[in-house]
Structure 1
Amino acid sequence: MVSNRPAPEAPFVPSQRSADTFVYGGARTDDEGPWEEWNPTAESVRPPRGKHRVAKQRGGGGFARSSTVLGVGVIAAVSAGGMASANTGKAPVSISLPDLPDVGSLISDDEPAEDTAPALSSFGSVTAPQADDTAPQSAADAGEALRSRIMAQVESQQTQVETQAQLAAAEAAAKAEADAVAKAEKEAEAKATAAKEKAEAEAKEKAEAARLAELATQYTLPTSSYTITSTFGEAGAYWSSGYHTGLDFAAPTGTLIKAVHSGTITSAGWDGSYGYKTVLTLDDGTEIWYAHQSSISVSVGQKVATGDVIGRVGATGNVTGAHLHLEVHPGGSASGIDPGAWLRSKGLNP
């Protein structure tokens, strides 16, 4: 940067006089008279002609009247250029100043003020950053960068949403598959359980059938060629208890009566409304009563086997026709149970 010459300073008044005193434009001697107080005026401080005159300002737009102000203007322009560079974000533009000639040679009282303007204009120009040309481009670049960032963020968010959707879909598919597997396993388990239960039921039925078959060899019906005329529990005036207490096998008089199972004869003889009655006690304590017999073929204490003849069908006691009245008393109890159900439990079908 080119600096200006310093402005002339006020005359220096020494505390003591010297033989040779410096004055403006030469040296002062004591012969020139006494010292006087110096009051600067426009005429007294006016520089010699052709030395320091500057062109008059044009409408307030020209240079200042002193080189100092000119230097300040240059510095201000340079500073403004730096500020413009800082504000716009662009690299500062270099400022070139030509070598200035002596300011006094450029300015003289003889020349018109208008002639000095071209010379001063060649002082150099302060070139500011090309704000007018570069500002739109800079704004466009900044907008494009912002748009790119926004689009990148949108794409990133979209990718995250798609990833989350894919994960959710995968989780839903896995859950659905797990549910399907669990359902299939449950159905298979239910089928297996049903098959097992069915197999167990079939096995139980087979076992029961085998047991009944075996019991059938051990148990037998009390008579043959019969017809069931009255069942257990029927109500009527014919029975003193008000209901039928046994199972009636109607058959011709003299039809054979058999022991339904092996046991011991514990009673044989007449028993009022039962007529001739025989009691067979089985090994488990169950008593079988045979009533209305026409005759008895066994005696008390006699051991009999399944199918042995113990008497014959008759019509003795309180009857309306020839038949066998059969009662079953578990454990020798006074009240009996259904003889038909008991016989079926032994594999017999009366």
Structure 2
Amino acid sequence: MASNRPAPEAPFVPSQRSPETETFGFGSYRTDEGPWEEWNPTAESVGPVRGKHRVAKQRGGGFARSSTVLGVGVIAAVSAGGMASANTGKAPVSISMPDLPGVGSLITDEDTAEDAAPALVNFGSEADDTAQGATADAGEALRSRIMAQAASQQTQVASKAEAAAAKAQAAAVAKAAKEAKAEAAEAKEKAEQAAKEKAEAARLAELAKQYTLPTSSYTITSTFGQAGALWSSGYHTGLDFAAPTGTLIKAVHSGTVTEAGWAGSYGYRTILTLDDGTELWFCHQSSISVSVGQKVATGDVIGRVGATGNVTGAHLHLEVHPGGSATGIDPMAWLRSKGLNP
């Protein structure tokens, strides 16, 4: 790097003011200072100046102003050096400048007005702008965080509401499905029951064609199991059809006559054995129209209603003995099982 050339010598002009009025430097005249020798900077005594520099022309009476500006520049340089030291971690460098005549001529008034002052003003303005920008950025960041937190809370509330609505809807759907399933099961059960009843009705209707009631123009006077002293067993063992004497008695179903005659308290009795082994007892007849071993069909006449045996009036006493057992069953239920309704 090239060094500066020596500055031209400037004549030393003593101040025309009185020593008492000279305020340059320390603000008062000091008799213990001076006289000063002329100092001309050279390449050996003055370090190279970095960046833009120029040597301005001499102005009369500008020494004090140039020196003042130089002092401000030195302060700014020292401050900058301090900040650089703070930033870089290096120790600050001490800068000293001699307060000699002619030094101020190195920096002109134009340099002061155009370079130094705007730099200082700009430095403060940029610092304020930076502080304001940092404050604005912090406020905007805080606002953004608050808005994000509010949006997150709203999202959580909306999510909870949606989850609750979905849960309620799922519960309603499950309840509706359960009710529909129960209704379907009930409908199925009813349909199955109806089908069973229909099938049973069809079966009974078909059986009714094969079976018939033992007599007509009758009245049911005593039922199976009815208690009373009139019966030797203590209860009624059959079903009584009260009808006028001589009313026809018919075969309930096809079968074979296994007994026909007197039977003591039963009076005249006919026993018809069906193909499945069930015995039907027709008692208290006034007359018998069939004989033992005779085959009969449904509806054939086998005798007539009477009042023989242990009776209080004319009637047909009917008993049902499954498999020829000694103990009978309820004739009413048996007749209904065959599609008949006494």
Q: Deviations over 1:155-175 (max 9, x none)?
A: 122222233333344444444
What is the aligned partner in structure 2 of residue 141 from structure 1? Answer: 133
Structure whose CA Rg is larger: 1
Which letter does structure 2 place at the counterpart of 1:299? S
Q: Which residue of 1 aligns with 2:146?
A: 154
The answer (yes or no) to whether the contact 1:228–1:248 under 8 Å persists in 2 is: yes
- Distance in 2 separating the partners of 1:316 and 1:49: 181
CA pair 146-348 structure 1, distance change in 2 beyond 3 A = same
Q: Report the equivalent of 1:342.
A: 334
Give 1:306 shift.
0.6
2:55 matched to which residue of 1? none
Aligned partner of 2:192: which letter?
E
Residue-by-residue CA offset, 1:302-341 (whole Å, 9 max, x unaligned):
1111111111111111111111111111122221111111
Paired residues for 1:77-226 under 5 Å: 78-84=77-83, 101=100, 138-226=130-218
Q: CA deviation at 1:141?
A: 3.2
Cα distance change on mapping 1:182 and 1:49 into 2, 3 Å = closer
Which residue does 2:35 correspond to in 1? 50
SS of residue paired to 2:209 = helix
* Contact 1:81–1:128, Cα closer than 8 Å, also in 2: no
Residue 326, structure 1, aligned to residue 311, structure 2? no
Structure 1: 5+ residue stretches without partners: 1-46, 53-73, 89-95, 107-124
Superposed counterparts of 1:33-44, under 5 Å: none
Once the two structures are superposed, residues 232-285 of structure 1 have per-residue CA deviations (whole angstroms, 9 ceiling, x without a partner) of 111110011111111111111121111100111122222221111111111111
Alpha-carbon contact 1:292-1:324 (below 8 Å) kept: yes
Q: Identity of paired residues, percent?
A: 65
The DSSP-based 3-state class of the residue aligned with 2:256 is strand
- The amino acid across from 2:100 in the alignment is P
- Output the CA distance in 1 between the equivalents of 2:229 and 2:76: 144
- For these two proteins, the number of residue pairs brought into alignment is 263
| 1:236 correspondence with 2:221 | no
Which residue identity is paired with 1:273?
S
For the pair 1:263 / 2:248, whether they are aligned, the reply is: no
Cα gap change, 1:220/1:240 in structure 2, threshold over 3 Å: closer, same or farther? Answer: same
Indicate the larger mover: 302-311 or 167-176.
Answer: 167-176
Q: Which residue of 2 aligns with 1:118?
A: none
Paired amino acid for 1:200: E
> Against the structure 1 CA distance between its residues 231 and 277, is the aligned structure 2 distance closer, same or farther, given a 3 Å change threshold?
same
Residues in 2 aligned to 1:234 and 1:195: alpha-carbon distance in whole angstroms:
40
- Could you say what secondary structure the match of 1:200 adopts? helix
Q: Partner residue of 2:308?
A: 316
Distance change in 2, residues 1:100/1:49 (3 Å)? closer
SS at match of 1:331: helix
Task: Give 1:81 shift.
Answer: 4.0
Q: 1:86 to 1:243 in 2, by over 3 A?
A: farther
Deviates more, 1:289-298 or 1:181-190: 181-190
Q: C-alpha distance in 2, partners of 1:255/1:189?
A: 58
Label 1:86 to 1:282 Cα distance change in 2 as closer, same or farther (>3 A). farther
Range moving further from structure 2, 255-264 or 79-88 = 79-88
Report the equivalent of 1:26: none
Q: 1:210 & 1:328 partners in 2: Cα distance?
A: 24
Q: CA deviation at 1:291?
A: 1.1
Aligned to 2:219: 227
> Given the two structures, how large is their TM-score scaled by the length of structure 1?
0.63
Q: Which amino acid aligns with 1:210?
A: A
What is residue 297 of structure 1 aligned with on the other side? 289
CA distances 1:144-198 after superposition (whole Å, capped 9, x unpaired): 2211111111112222223333334444444444444444444444444333333
Superposition TM-score, scaled by structure 2 size: 0.64
From the superposition, tell whether residues 86 and 181 of structure 1 become closer, same or farther in structure 2 (CA, over 3 Å). farther
Q: Secondary structure at 1:218's aligned position in 2?
A: coil
Match of 2:276 among 284, 289, 300: 284
**For each residue in 1:28-59, what CA deviation from the matched residue of structure 2 results, as whole angstroms up to 9, or x when unmatched?**
xxxxxxxxxxxxxxxxxxx996359xxxxxxx
User: What is the RMSD of the two structures over their aligned residues, measured on CA atoms?
Assistant: 4.1
Pair 1:208–1:86, CA change in 2 (3 A): farther
Does structure 2 conserve the Cα–Cα contact (< 8 Å) formed by 1:222 and 1:260? yes
In 2: Cα distance, 1:48 partner to 1:217 partner: 160
